[in-house]
Amino acid sequence: MQTLAVGCGAGFSGDRVDAAIPVVKTLIARGGPAALMFENLAERTLAHQHLIRRAHPNLGYEPLLELELGPILADCLHHRIPIIGNFGAANPQGAALCILRLAEKLGLPKPQIAVVMGDDLSTPEGRDLVKQHLDTAFEEARFVCANAYLGAFEIAAALQQGAQIVVTGRVADPSLLLGPAIAHYRWHEHDWDKLAGATMAGHLLECGAQVTGGYFADPGKKEVPGLENVGFPIAEIFADGSCVISKADHTGGLVDCRTVKEQLLYEVHDPAQYITPDVVADITQAKVEQVGPDRVRLSGVKGHARTSTLKVLAYFEGGWLGEGEISYAGPNAEGRARLAMQVMQQRMGLQLPLRFDLIGITSILGDDAGSMLAQAPVARSMDVRLRVASRHESLPMIELLLQELTALWTGGPAGGGGVRVAKRQRLSNLACLIPREKIPASFQLISSLPHIAL
């Protein structure tokens, strides 16, 4: 049987929309069975899309979907490269409709689209199920959404029934690659080692350019050529579940044992038990070896039986976050920024918990209490930007904070400028484990979705 190649076109919502173009060109040039995955769905991304869908029922899916798929849709359909993406977010049916419209706009035949369902537990029935498992921690009045992490077998079944595009909401990130691998090799649910190997291949691809040198690059220490044109990864999946990681042809970036090992360990709490909905992977005996320029083989991954539960993440309204910034430059800039900080503390500090950062002095490495900033010696910097942030249940209180920061324009100290303020709704989350039999997953081809007008 021919080896399956799976390319990655996105590693998060907001990734470069042209990243998939060289990946698809490479898949076509290499020939053989291929698939393309898009991983667009961080945890907070899904929650925010639920909020958007509340206000706009037709939205709630990946906002860059047309820009991502537009340049490659015709080639993928023509060369029989199925597309699998969690760009459905909070509205997979809406994403499917968007793709149908895009195909029509491009003059393409209507693609066969499958929508994976079952992850969204925001319905009254789903909410009751989550409430049973969170018990008193569940805050009814603040509830936003809950989604279960589904696996790869519904994706595989949809592909086996002829789907050219599979749209999902929340699935485990590696399942986007594992699904087409299962469909291609006809693996079974108990092929634990094979499932585990392909799961870790999906894990290597899921963050896009992280494994091809993007997040790896550190000048003078870990040099990466052509970072401005970093190529996205491609995994060649073999029948035993092992893989070779490479990248799109004629692109920058780097694939070597270092980049692969960094990504292999990314977000892995226990290397002996990397738990996904499909399998529990053990990478403690995995072998990573360079097999050619920008080609790294991963083998030796072991698999164990999947768990009896699925992870569910529930989100709740968490009040508001407000932040504002103002710049000071020139002689005694740091002194003026510190004085502005004192003014804000005296005017608002009794009403709100405030965090101050002096960008250029102490910011990323600072703390909410301000202890590190208080201990930082005066650096006499001539270029400082003050950031003030707070969280509160009341939006008017946050707006008052931002008005106070804006007033520093003329309220002093001298020379402040470049004021920017922003506010956004905060979200909190709680996780629980629910028996998988209580969360039935399924898929439907788009022609069988009566509430989507074709």
83 closest CA partner among 96, 97, 101: 96
Q: Is the peptide bond before 413 cis (omega within 30 degrees of 0)?
A: yes
List pLDDT tens digits, range 210-230: 999 999 999 999 999 999 999
List pLDDT tens digits, range 246-283: 999 999 999 999 999 999 999 999 999 999 999 999 99
Q: Are residues 105 and 18 in the same domain?
A: yes
- Residue 149 maps to a domain: yes
Q: Are residues 305 and 276 in the same domain?
A: yes
Report the pLDDT value the prediction gives residue 451, as an integer from 0 to 100: 52
- Residue 124 maps to a domain: yes
- Residue 437 maps to a domain: yes
List pLDDT tens digits, range 378-429: 767 889 999 999 999 999 999 999 999 999 999 989 999 999 999 999 999 9
- Residue 453 maps to a domain: no
Q: Which residues pair with 287 in a beta bridge?
A: 299
Please give the average per-residue pLDDT across 87-106, as a whole number: 97
Name the domain count of the chain.
Answer: 2
Q: Are residues 199 and 297 in the same domain?
A: yes
pTM score of the predicted model = 0.93
- The residues near 375 (Cβ < 8 Å, ≥ 6 apart) are none
Report the pLDDT value the prediction gives residue 1, as an integer from 0 to 100: 87
Q: Are residues 299 and 254 in the same domain?
A: yes
Q: Is the pLDDT of residue 449 over 50?
A: no
Q: Are residues 228 and 269 in the same domain?
A: yes
Q: 256-294 b/e with 16+ CB inside 10 Å = b?
A: beebbbebbeeeeeeeeebbbbbbbbbbeebebeeeeeb
Per-residue CA distances from 41 to 86, 117, 140, 350 (Å): 6, 16, 25, 39
Q: Are residues 236 and 219 in the same domain?
A: yes
- Residue 454 maps to a domain: no
- Residue 425 maps to a domain: yes
Report the pLDDT value the prediction gives residue 446, as an integer from 0 to 100: 87
Q: What is the CATH number of the domain that holds 375?
A: 3.30.70.1120
- Residue 52 maps to a domain: yes
Q: Are residues 58 and 170 in the same domain?
A: yes
Q: Are residues 256 and 215 in the same domain?
A: yes
Task: Give the per-residue SS3 of 31-100.
Answer: CCCEEEEECCCCHHHHHHHHHHHHHCCCCCCCCCHHHHHCCCHHHHHHCCCCEEECCCCCCHHHHHHHHH
Report the pLDDT value the prediction gives residue 447, as an integer from 0 to 100: 63
Q: Are residues 334 and 294 in the same domain?
A: no
Parent domain of 16: 4-313+432-448
Q: Is the pLDDT of residue 362 over 80?
A: no
Q: Are residues 354 and 258 in the same domain?
A: no
Helices (H), 332-407: 333-348, 371-375, 395-406
Q: Are residues 279 and 333 in the same domain?
A: no
Q: Are residues 94 and 141 in the same domain?
A: yes
Q: Which long-range contacts (CB under 8 A, 24 or more apart) does 129-134 make?
A: 129/434, 129/438, 129/439, 130/312, 130/314, 130/432, 130/434, 133/312, 133/432, 133/433, 133/434, 134/314, 134/430, 134/432
Residue with tokens 């195909």: 103
